[in-house]
Structure 1
């Protein structure tokens, strides 16, 4: 099967084409192409470079965050728009799982990794993963200064790392059920800023 993977959860967005689990081509997507028409233009460039056309693609895999709501909404909407006419599948996975899979491939010595990102207003989101990109605890919102304190025995992913579309695609071919066709959006509401206790844990 030929697959188009999209990962737009961060400013470092990307696209990838995979066939039978092998990466055929990938393309970073700059900020100017992260909105609706820009996504279509970038995909056209990627397909042309690989000698494919959109009709060749049999399925779509999308990273669903956490991260930029605009980027996630655009990528999910685009994938659904391409898939609908021919009833092709759209498969989603958390973008954190995609980054965790890459980190575990790079670092065979670690057994647990914490994927995290900026949630704004002085907070971060974070999730704990085990090998095979299996998430073992729900996403948490933490104060930025608490980075590294939660799950201290796990490897915290280095600042600046972003998930890649090719790893979203690899997880598709690794099997497993699709997640919801909705973004994971952990940004706190403006009217309800998060509060934390002395240990940095969110208060209800």
Structure 2
């Protein structure tokens, strides 16, 4: 299974190419605020060239569908839609929160549960809880939601991931280093790893249906502290 994955959901941007038949993986990752629109497409072409693949060789595409920065999500979705439509390939939209959890599980096989918290701006956070599945793929325990940071349970039994724990610490009036995340940023490589089994099952979507998920729009405009 050969696929190209993109993520532009945060200040970071990343592009990955995975070829499961060759056991080949390559990724470019950088912190580059405001550079997503300019950098993503050239990086995609660069990594495909290094992998000795053309767009037509790919079985599909994947992208970080959110939640995350609205502009970055639209950039990634639009780029993937254009590339996938051009070669008539399916797309797998992957949760950026699940990708962060997957990165933690990949980091240490002993990790069983991860709580992901991303900065949602406007005094809110995106959060979701996951447990390790049989193949280390994240299984959702608590669905993605947007809440006020002071409403989050900070149980130390959870491994922390995401760039929003500093927001939680600030809301609780504690030092930022008391709530440290194992991983802060979603990576396209983890998105690709989560997407290729979906593509293998034939469960990708048509390019036109590869849409961002904002969560804030999906649940409510008014923040809720309810779990």
Written as runs of structure 1 = structure 2, the 5 A alignment for 1:13-32 is 13-20=13-20, 22-29=23-30, 30-32=32-34
**TM-score under structure 2 length normalisation:** 0.74
Written as runs of structure 1 = structure 2, the 5 A alignment for 1:53-68 is 53-68=54-69
Instruction: Answer yes or no: is the 8 Å Cα contact 1:97–1:133 preserved in 2.
Output: yes
Q: For residues 48 and 134 of structure 1, what CA distance do their matches in structure 2 show?
A: 34
- Shift in Å, 1:84: 1.1
- Shift in Å, 1:71: 1.1
Residues 7-61 of structure 1 show CA distances to partners (whole Å, capped at 9, x for unaligned) of: 11111110001101734321125335311x5322222222233333333222101
Residues 93-126 of structure 1 show CA distances to partners (whole Å, capped at 9, x for unaligned) of: 1111111111112232232111110011221110
Match of 1:181 in 2: 210
Q: 1:201 and 2:226 equivalent?
A: yes
- Shift in Å, 1:178: 4.7
Q: For residues 5 and 74 of structure 1, what CA distance do their matches in structure 2 show?
A: 13
Task: Point out where structure 1 has 5 or more consecutive residues left out of the alignment.
Answer: none
Q: For residues 5 and 52 of structure 2, what CA distance do their matches in structure 1 show?
A: 16
Q: For residues 24 and 53 of structure 1, what CA distance do their matches in structure 2 show?
A: 15
- Shift in Å, 1:80: 1.3
Task: Point out where structure 2 has 5 or more consecutive residues left out of the alignment.
Answer: 162-180
**SS in structure 2 of the partner of residue 31 of structure 1:** coil
Q: For residues 138 and 151 of structure 1, what CA distance do their matches in structure 2 show?
A: 17
**SS in structure 1 of the partner of residue 66 of structure 2:** coil
Structure 1 residues 193 and 160 mapped into 2: Cα distance closer, same or farther (>3 Å)? farther
**SS in structure 1 of the partner of residue 130 of structure 2:** strand
Match of 2:36 in 1: 34
Match of 1:154 in 2: 158
Match of 1:126 in 2: 127
Q: Aligned Cα RMSD in Å?
A: 2.7
Q: For residues 159 and 153 of structure 1, what CA distance do their matches in structure 2 show?
A: 13
Match of 1:171 in 2: 194
- Shift in Å, 1:130: 1.1
Q: For residues 90 and 84 of structure 1, what CA distance do their matches in structure 2 show?
A: 10
Residues 64-85 of structure 1 show CA distances to partners (whole Å, capped at 9, x for unaligned) of: 1110111111111111111113
Counterpart of 2:146 (choices 141, 145, 154) is: 141
Structure 1 residues 86 and 13 mapped into 2: Cα distance closer, same or farther (>3 Å)? same
Instruction: Answer yes or no: is the 8 Å Cα contact 1:26–1:46 preserved in 2.
Output: yes
Aligned residues: 195
